[in-house]
Chain A
């Protein structure tokens, strides 16, 4: 599991995936029910719901259940933070640093440390 230092890191992580970006793109036009959002994607509903959960946890969208329909909409608050260019650069370098750490710790075993 990735470790997000700030809410903004989570937002950028959420936007790093093309499916989630497409969902955001759709939701910026209007709120939409989950069923309609899932339609264009060739993935199972559980996998799609996982994407929605990442977006919701990152604070980029909210969901609301009315009767049997769950409707999603974008949340604007997080955007103001993302607009600070230095915050964006910081998020970029933080994510990059976390990917390096993850790669080193999981893909490069200590057995290989001295092979030159």
Chain B
């Protein structure tokens, strides 16, 4: 086994009850507001919160066609506590070959008057890193990074 690090964890306190944070995740009209950064527009296509249920979001910038963003499948749903999805499977556990395979384990824990929100994200391997520029593209910064990279190479 390699010891290559392919896992990341984000954790932060949110000043609202777990039920509210869950609602922001589990209702399409709310999810669309924060899932993708402004000014990119997000459309929630599937948000079928049950094991095997589809999860799909699309995005567009500047009024063009909606482009693929995330397509995956929920693996585990415990309302107001835990939500797990993967991009390695599509709706109904159908295997896919995503350009970036990941499993995201999202937890909502009551903490004081609010919520300890954590996202643990597991990736397949660094080979996927070749594809990471596409994710950058999807959230709008990939093209700029590529230009910076090209510029850096010229200066070296």
Q: By the criterion CB–CB under 8 Å, are B121 and A24 in contact?
A: no
B20 CB contacts on chain A under 8 angstroms:
104, 108, 110, 112-113
Q: Is B66 engaged at the interface, CB distance under 8 Å to the other chain?
A: no
Which residues of A are interface residues toward B (Cβ below 8 A)?
Answer: 12, 15-18, 21, 24-25, 28, 60, 74, 76, 79-80, 82-83, 85-86, 88-90, 92-105, 107-108, 110, 112-114
Given A25-B147, A85-B126, A76 contacting B16 (CB threshold 8 A):
no
Q: Is B145 engaged at the interface, CB distance under 8 Å to the other chain?
A: yes
B6 CB contacts on chain A under 8 angstroms:
86
A-B contact pairs, 8 of them (CB 8 A): A12-B141, A15-B140, A16-B139, A18-B62, A21-B144, A96-B34, A101-B14, A113-B20
Which residues of B are interface residues toward A (Cβ below 8 A)?
Answer: 5-6, 8, 10, 12, 14-17, 19-21, 23-25, 30, 33-35, 37-39, 61-62, 102, 117, 119, 121, 123, 126, 128-129, 132, 135-136, 139-141, 143-145, 147-152, 155
Given A76-B155, A85-B126, A103-B33, A93 contacting B10 (CB threshold 8 A):
yes
A83 CB contacts on chain B under 8 angstroms:
149
Q: By the criterion CB–CB under 8 Å, are B140 and A16 in contact?
A: yes
* Docked CA distance A108–B150 (Å): 43
B128 CB contacts on chain A under 8 angstroms:
85
Q: By the criterion CB–CB under 8 Å, are B10 and A104 in contact?
A: no
* Docked CA distance A17–B152 (Å): 21
